[in-house]
């Protein structure tokens, strides 16, 4: 059975007259819910702390080959589009990440007899609808329509029950996270509070596992309610007397706290006609009291329609680009890209400003604390896009990163809800800080930022950000025998970070720092093997590591030199030194040949970050710029589509979408911490970017073109009416421009002799 997915192109709750489609109307939250995109179709507000997602990754796998089931494989999302068995709606979720985490506080409407085991109460479903801030489906077994919307820290679900017995479950045992343990307390027939342990993202820092608190309020008092608890099954002598060993216990009407790994609350009704029950949930990472306050302040007595309308308005504000021309599908993937790029980093602080600090175990105060910094991913293009489109949000993220430094003593690497998970490698925060400053968002404490960068770069011992940095400074590279994972990749990452530090040092007048870091930024060259024309793992004694198979490491296979990639996918990840690389390769043609080889031999991996800028590197080869346009076009066509499998793989908290958005707009920030962009052919006839006048005095950038399915190649670029000769443009020039006009053609512009 193939379920019918309907994009809500004209969704409206009330009988208002249909007006023109807004950006939010184009969003298809199902994109990325298959092919490991790891997004979910749930209801969420821009950068929301809460989201309500259908949860369909827990089912009986008997007889199913390679099930996309949470415990049967590495599965990082609460929802997989092709799955069929729904066991509730999760209230905290990550979107587009590569590890299982959150996906808890599950509500579920059922009818008839009370069942608390998800394998018993789960159901197929149909008629899924999702838009920005809204999701609904029809639960087959129960004939219940469930719809949900969300504000930043709270959400509302509406369950449309038929006549008869109805149940609302709050399942605190089930979840995507690998953490266990919850507490629940029923406050009244209409209210329940509690917490659920989460944490150890990517199997890192399990000791930092932490609670997420919630308060849930029901619009109708339950006839009966209670808590269920399925304790661990005893073994041995004790078990002989425990006739109830491992059984579920129903604690009817119980109103004191209950804790356990597998617990939940239930609320039962008996309706003599069709009835709607609304469940409003507030969450907090600080306390139950704050979860209640978040719920009261954000939702309170607002109706479902009010909350949805408000969130939709927020989405329209957030998705403020206007595009003309292009197909509906193109508009959909573009706006959905912006939507996906506006989910993480998300708000961490409660409405009262409370948030859990990093490392200190204290509660901090901020009205602008962000979390979910997947920086190894996002330093490459995501934050550049935020700097351009959402400078205030980007500054909030920068300030959050500096607060994390203040709190924990280190800049973040892969931060999640104030825990540092130390996922991936390198020193990506330094790159983001430098890039943001160099692109003109200077309204933060750059001196502190610079000191934080220096600490990460210069601390030779017990450095959680840059392990092996002593050897790196000494040899210029991390050796195979040095004990640091992926020594080639990590050397490259450190180089890019050092380049970033150098650029910032130069900008803020730290001359000697500039010189030191600028020199170090090219040390990766010591790993260049002129024979294979690749970067190769090397021992600390200077000898190459053998055997060397450049292809080894593709498809996330573990290998000696690289992190999530192979020699082909890393060799050109030197965006700060493309010219140096060209020289090492023996000139532009050799460089181009190698690049062609990578694409043509299918070594290019669109689904991961190291080679994400490769398609744009043809712009460094005079006369071959058309290949950038071709490659970008082909990659968009192949990997980015208006369908659940319409992302190349993990969305990576907005990075894949950022790549797409740039590709469709016609420019790309090819070199992190270098405030430049490089051009490709846009996909729309007109793109109007409203920009924040505080940072972009023009307040608007219009990109025009004669884009069409045939017109893939740049013939000429005009900026504010004047022909523009280069395929690169600085951020400053872009900022000054009001109009960029691409004249496109069906044929590549062959400028080679």
Residues 40-79 that bind its own copies (CB under 8 A): 71-74
Which is nearer to its own copies, 180 or 706 (by Cβ)?
180
Sort strands 106-111 and 528-529 into parallel, antiparallel or unpaired.
unpaired
Tokens at 121, concatenated? 């109460």
Which is nearer to its own copies, 228 or 494 (by Cβ)?
228
Pairwise CA distance, residues 103 & 52, whole Å? 9
Which is nearer to its own copies, 153 or 538 (by Cβ)?
153
Stretch that binds its own copies, among 228-236, 458-466, 476-484, 610-618 (CB under 8 A): 228-236
Task: Please give the biggest Cα pair distance in the chain.
Answer: 90
Question: Smallest gap, in angstroms, from Cβ of residue 183 to its own copies?
Answer: 5
Residues 171-190 that bind its own copies (CB under 8 A): 178-183
Tokens at 545, concatenated? 């590591």
Which is nearer to its own copies, 178 or 366 (by Cβ)?
178
Residue 544 DSSP label = B
Which is nearer to its own copies, 261 or 329 (by Cβ)?
261
Cα angle 522, 411, 692; round to 5: 90
Question: Smallest gap, in angstroms, from Cβ of residue 422 to its own copies?
Answer: 13
Which is nearer to its own copies, 143 or 224 (by Cβ)?
224
Question: Smallest gap, in angstroms, from Cβ of residue 253 to its own copies?
Answer: 4
Cβ atoms of 497 and 450 within 8 Å: the answer is: no
Cβ atoms of 107 and 91 within 8 Å: the answer is: yes
Question: Smallest gap, in angstroms, from Cβ of residue 552 to its own copies?
Answer: 21
Question: Smallest gap, in angstroms, from Cβ of residue 354 to its own copies?
Answer: 11
Residue reference for tokens 């192979």: 566
Pairwise CA distance, residues 395 & 295, whole Å? 27
Which is nearer to its own copies, 91 or 538 (by Cβ)?
91
362 binds its own copies (CB under 8 A): yes
**Interaction mask 378-397, its own copies, x per CB under 8 A:** --------------------
In sign, the C-alpha dihedral spanning 294, 297, 301, 304 is negative
Question: Smallest gap, in angstroms, from Cβ of residue 60 to its own copies?
Answer: 14
Cα angle 61, 66, 70; round to 5: 60
Tokens at 309, concatenated? 């309308």
Question: Smallest gap, in angstroms, from Cβ of residue 558 to its own copies?
Answer: 13
Pairwise CA distance, residues 58 & 87, whole Å? 7
Question: Smallest gap, in angstroms, from Cβ of residue 150 to its own copies?
Answer: 24
Cβ atoms of 432 and 370 within 8 Å: the answer is: no
Distance between first and last Cα of the chain: 56
Question: Smallest gap, in angstroms, from Cβ of residue 99 to its own copies?
Answer: 9
Which is nearer to its own copies, 357 or 619 (by Cβ)?
357
Task: Count the neighbouring beta carbons within 10 Å of the beta carbon of residue 273.
Answer: 8
**Long-range own/partner contacts, residues 699-703 (CB < 8 A, 24 or more apart):** 700/738, 701/734, 701/737, 701/738, 701/739, 701/740, 702/738, 702/739, 702/740, 703/665, 703/666, 703/739, 703/740, 703/741, 703/742
Stretch that binds its own copies, among 40-48, 237-245, 429-437, 495-503 (CB under 8 A): 237-245
Residues 3-32 that bind its own copies (CB under 8 A): none
Which is nearer to its own copies, 180 or 641 (by Cβ)?
180
Cβ atoms of 141 and 163 within 8 Å: the answer is: no
Cα distances (Å, whole numbers) of residue 218 to 92, 172, 189, 317, 422: 19, 17, 8, 30, 39
Which is nearer to its own copies, 261 or 278 (by Cβ)?
261
The footprint of its own copies on this chain (CB under 8 A) covers a number of residues equal to 51
Residues 238-297 that bind its own copies (CB under 8 A): 238, 241-244, 247, 249-261, 286-287
Residues 139-178 that bind its own copies (CB under 8 A): 178
Question: Smallest gap, in angstroms, from Cβ of residue 425 to its own copies?
Answer: 18
Tabulate helix, strand, coil % of the chain (nearest 5). 30, 25, 45
Tokens at 741, concatenated? 């006009």
Pairwise CA distance, residues 591 & 317, whole Å? 43
Which is nearer to its own copies, 226 or 615 (by Cβ)?
226
Question: Smallest gap, in angstroms, from Cβ of residue 240 to its own copies?
Answer: 9
Which is nearer to its own copies, 115 or 507 (by Cβ)?
115
Which is nearer to its own copies, 259 or 718 (by Cβ)?
259
Which is nearer to its own copies, 179 or 314 (by Cβ)?
179
CB-based burial of residue 481 (10 Å sphere; 0-12 exposed, 13-18 middle, 19+ buried)? middle
Pairwise CA distance, residues 722 & 63, whole Å? 65
Least Cα distance to 189 among 219, 215, 166 occurs for 219
Distance of CA 592 to the CA centre of its chain: 32
Question: Smallest gap, in angstroms, from Cβ of residue 232 to its own copies?
Answer: 6
Question: Smallest gap, in angstroms, from Cβ of residue 485 to its own copies?
Answer: 14
Pairwise CA distance, residues 226 & 550, whole Å? 60
630 binds its own copies (CB under 8 A): no
Residues 70-129 that bind its own copies (CB under 8 A): 71-74
Question: Smallest gap, in angstroms, from Cβ of residue 249 to its own copies?
Answer: 4
Pairwise CA distance, residues 732 & 282, whole Å? 43
Residues 192-211 that bind its own copies (CB under 8 A): 195, 197, 200, 203, 206-211
Which is nearer to its own copies, 226 or 648 (by Cβ)?
226
Which is nearer to its own copies, 423 or 628 (by Cβ)?
423
Pairwise CA distance, residues 142 & 644, whole Å? 26
697 binds its own copies (CB under 8 A): no
Residue 14 DSSP label = S
Question: Smallest gap, in angstroms, from Cβ of residue 231 to its own copies?
Answer: 6
User: Which secondary-structure segment (H or E) carries 590?
Assistant: helix 588-600
Cβ atoms of 89 and 149 within 8 Å: the answer is: no
Question: Smallest gap, in angstroms, from Cβ of residue 243 to its own copies?
Answer: 7
**Partners of 136 in the beta sheet?**
129, 147
For 314, residues 6+ apart whose C-beta sits below 8 A from its C-beta are 45, 46, 133
Stretch that binds its own copies, among 34-42, 227-235, 527-535, 539-547 (CB under 8 A): 227-235
Among 63, 236, 509, 721, binds its own copies (CB under 8 A): 236
Binding region for its own copies (CB under 8 A): 71-74, 178-183, 195, 197, 200, 203, 206-211, 229, 231-232, 234, 236-238, 241-244, 247, 249-261, 286-287, 356, 360-362
């Amino acid at each position: 059975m193939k379920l019918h997915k309907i994009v809500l192109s004209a969704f409206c709750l009330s009988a208002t007259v249909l007006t023109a489609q807004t950006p939010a109307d184009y969003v298809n939250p199902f994109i990325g819910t298959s092919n490991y995109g790891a997004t979910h179709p749930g209801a969420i507000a821009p950068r929301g702390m809460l989201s309500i997602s259908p949860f369909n990754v827990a089912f009986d796998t008997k007889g199913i080959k390679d099930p996309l089931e949470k415990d049967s494989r590495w599965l990082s999302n609460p929802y997989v589009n092709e799955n069929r068995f729904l066991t509730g709606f999760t209230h905290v979720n990550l979107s587009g990440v590569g590890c299982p985490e959150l996906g808890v506080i599950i509500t579920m409407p059922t009818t008839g007899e009370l069942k608390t085991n998800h394998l018993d109460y789960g159901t197929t479903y149909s008629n899924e609808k999702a838009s920005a801030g809204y999701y609904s489906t029809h639960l087959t077994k129960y004939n219940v329509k469930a719809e949900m919307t969300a504000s930043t820290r709270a959400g509302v679900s509406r369950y449309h029950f038929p006549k008869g017995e109805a149940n609302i479950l709050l399942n605190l045992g089930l979840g995507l996270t690998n953490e266990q343990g919850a507490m629940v307390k029923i406050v009244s027939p209409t209210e329940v509070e509690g917490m659920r342990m989460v944490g150890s993202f990517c199997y890192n820092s399990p000791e930092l596992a932490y609670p997420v608190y919630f308060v849930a309020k029901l619009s109708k008092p339950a006839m009966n309610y209670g808590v269920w608890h399925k304790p661990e099954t005893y073994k041995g002598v004790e078990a002989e007397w425990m006739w109830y060993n491992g059984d579920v216990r129903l604690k009817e009407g119980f109103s004191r706290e209950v804790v356990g790994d597998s617990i939940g609350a239930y609320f039962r009704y008996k309706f003599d006609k069709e009835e709607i029950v609304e469940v409003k949930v507030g969450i907090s990472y600080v306390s139950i009291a704050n979860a209640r306050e978040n719920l009261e302040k954000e939702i309170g007595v607002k109706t479902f329609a009010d909350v949805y309308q408000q969130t939709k308005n927020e989405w329209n504000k957030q998705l403020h680009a206007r595009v003309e021309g292009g197909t509906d599908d193109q508009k959909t993937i573009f706006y959905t890209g912006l939507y996906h790029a506006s989910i993480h980093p998300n708000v961490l602080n409660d409405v009262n400003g409370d948030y859990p600090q990093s490392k200190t175990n204290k509660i901090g105060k901020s009205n602008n604390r962000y979390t979910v910094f997947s920086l190894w991913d996002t330093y490459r293009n995501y934050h550049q896009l935020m700097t351009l489109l959402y400078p205030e949000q980007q500054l909030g993220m920068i300030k959050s990163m500096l607060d994390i430094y203040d709190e924990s003593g280190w800049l973040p690497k892969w931060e999640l809800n104030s825990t540092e998970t130390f996922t991936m490698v390198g020193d990506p925060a330094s790159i983001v800080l430098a890039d943001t400053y160099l692109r003109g968002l200077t309204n933060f404490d750059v001196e502190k930022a610079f000191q934080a960068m220096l600490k990460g770069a210069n601390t030779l011992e017990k450095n959680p950000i840059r392990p092996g940095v002593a050897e790196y400074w000494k040899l210029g590279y991390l050796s195979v025998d040095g004990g640091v994972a992926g020594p080639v990749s990590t050397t490259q990452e450190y180089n890019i970070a050092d380049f970033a530090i150098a650029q910032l040092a130069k900008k803020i007048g730290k001359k000697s720092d500039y010189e030191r870091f600028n020199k170090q930024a090219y040390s990766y060259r010591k790993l260049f093997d002129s024979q294979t024309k690749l970067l190769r793992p090397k021992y600390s004694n200077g000898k190459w590591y053998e055997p060397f198979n450049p292809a080894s490491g593709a498809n996330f296979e573990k290998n000696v030199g690289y992190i999530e990639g192979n020699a082909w996918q890393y060799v050109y990840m030197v965006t700060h030194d493309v010219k140096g690389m060209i020289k090492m390769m023996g000139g532009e043609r050799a460089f181009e040949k190698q690049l062609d080889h990578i694409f043509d031999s299918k070594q290019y991996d669109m689904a991961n970050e190291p080679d994400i800028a490769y398609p744009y590197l043809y712009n460094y080869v005079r006369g071959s710029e058309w290949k950038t346009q071709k490659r970008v076009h082909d990659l968009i066509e192949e990997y980015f589509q208006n369908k659940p499998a319409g992302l190349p793989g993990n969305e990576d908290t907005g990075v894949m979408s950022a790549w797409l958005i740039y590709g469709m707009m016609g420019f790309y920030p090819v070199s992190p911490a270098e405030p430049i962009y490089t051009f490709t052919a846009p996909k729309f006839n007109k793109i109007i970017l409203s920009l924040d006048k505080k940072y972009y005095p023009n307040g608007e950038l219009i990109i025009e073109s004669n884009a069409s399915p045939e017109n893939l190649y740049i013939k000429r670029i005009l900026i504010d009416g004047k022909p523009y000769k280069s395929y690169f443009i600085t951020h400053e020039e872009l900022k000054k421009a009001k109009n960029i006009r691409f004249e496109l053609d069906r044929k590549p512009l062959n400028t080679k002799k």
